[in-house]
Structure 1
Amino acid sequence: MARWARGVRWYVRELTGESAYDRYVEHLRQHDPDAPVPTRAEFERRRTDAREADPRSGFRCC
């Protein structure tokens, strides 16, 4: 049962994009350990801004 619950949790985190921040922090620490790590809110704001700026993303209809 616990294995099933972990699998569901992993799937939901991947589906919602919640794990993107964790992967970003891990990547940042591996490649530039001295760089400041943005807060989750800052990361999400930058991510949203990047999607809105890209007309190919289909993020906005207009």
Structure 2
Amino acid sequence: MRAVRTAWWWTGSLMGDHDYSRYVEHLRRNHPDAEVPTEREYWKARYADADANPGARCC
């Protein structure tokens, strides 16, 4: 059962399931004054920015 959970977590990581939570942690740690976007806003901005400028990243 532990192996199944690990595989499920690993697959989710590859698919980007944990990206929003990591982004929120990053904002709170490195940009405490920044407004935290909703998860929907995060994904919308991520795909819009990736299409416009694939090399753009925060920090």
Instruction: Report the CA distance between 1:22 and its aligned residue.
Output: 1.1
Instruction: Report the CA distance between 1:54 and its aligned residue.
Output: 2.9
What code does the residue aligned with 2:22 have?
Answer: R
Aligned equivalents of 1:55, 1:33: Cα separation in 2: 26
Counting aligned pairs with the same residue, the percent is 44
Cα distance change, pair 29–39 in 1 and its aligned pair in 2 (3 A): same
Q: RMSD across aligned C-alpha pairs, in angstroms?
A: 1.8
Task: Give the TM-score taking structure 1 as reference length.
Answer: 0.71
Task: Give the TM-score taking structure 2 as reference length.
Answer: 0.74
Instruction: Report the CA distance between 1:34 and its aligned residue.
Output: 2.9
* 1:7-61 superposed Cα distances (whole Å, 9 cap, x missing partner): 12221221211111111011111112232110111000111001111368xxxxx
Unaligned runs of 5+ in 2: none
Pick the structure with more helix per residue. 1
What code does the residue aligned with 2:12 have?
Answer: R
Aligned equivalents of 2:10, 2:26: Cα separation in 1: 21
Aligned equivalents of 1:21, 1:27: Cα separation in 2: 10
Instruction: Report the CA distance between 1:6 and its aligned residue.
Output: 2.6
